[in-house]
Amino acid sequence: MLTLKAPAKINWFLDVFGKRDDGYHDIVSIMQRVTLYDSLTFEHSDQIEVLSDANIPLRENLVYRAAALMKGRTRHASGARITLKKETPMAAGLGGGSSDAACTLDGLNMLWNLNLSRQELAVIGQDLGSDVPFFFHGPAAVVEGRGEVVSPMRLDSVCTLLLVKPPIAVSTAWAYTQADTMGRKVLTKNDNFIKLFRQALEDRDFSLLSTMQKNSLETPVIGRYPVVGEIKRALTQKGAVFSSMSGSGPTVFGVFLSEEEAGKAAGHMSSHWCKVVKTMGRDE
């Protein structure tokens, strides 16, 4: 029996560009893992079995899809029983499903003694979702292309975050089709922008980060779901020094100077799902 943890992620910024010939959008983002985890347990079995406390149809469950893909690609003879315990909310912009998929590939690689490299696993993972390759290269990275181009980034500074998710679901496909892509490519494709953003994170220069913050999906999501904008404003009013929507939302994260301040802010957000977490450093 093998048990692994699958961490969630945030997007410090996310720029969405034009649609590609394969139907995906080009992006540039800085992603970082956070201390919010799903748990996956792997056991030997004759077939692929997935036991979960999440109400997800089996054929749509990324854990099942990852296991079936891994078995098919490697032609492994036996199966596995995988038990998934969810802590990361679904459809939240926190990469929970993608992390579970990556963790499944990693776990089966160990359980079945396949000895695949992390790069080989990432290549398999990109067929499951755009965020999956990141989880083989974290804890922080610049992510480009459709998500398959991952450049690991060293970030030593640890931040305390309050994650807040309202009880709504945002369609990722819809959000991407709504993204305004005009006038962005020149700015964030520039290596100097990436270096400046990273340095601001390391220096905890949240005033500068606030001026650089962007998420191409945030404006259309707030336009359709005003509660996301209300959460951003509330976090700032309760002491967050920086806030942004993660991914396609609807989760918003606020950066706080202490766990105590983040906890107090969470007390004012009781109508939503909330979690105080920390960003993960390079050795985690």
Cβ contacts of 105-108, under 8 Å, gap ≥ 24: 105/66, 105/70, 106/4, 106/136, 107/2, 107/4, 107/40, 107/42, 107/80, 107/82, 108/42, 108/66, 108/67, 108/70, 108/71, 108/76, 108/80
> Rounded to an integer, what distance in angstroms lies between the CA atom of residue 92 and that of residue 245?
10
Catalytic-role residue among 26, 106, 131, 165: 131
Q: Which residue has the tokens 């926190």?
A: 94
Annotated active-site residue 131? The verdict is yes
Annotated active-site residue 38? The verdict is no
- DSSP for 106-159 reads HHHHHHTT----HHHHHHHHTTT-TTGGGGGT-SEEEEEETTTEEEE-------
Its sign, for the CA torsion 88, 197, 278, 210, is negative
Do the Cβ atoms of 228 and 269 come closer than 8 Å?
Answer: no
* H or E element, residue 274: strand 273-278
Please give the positions annotated as active site. Answer: 9, 131
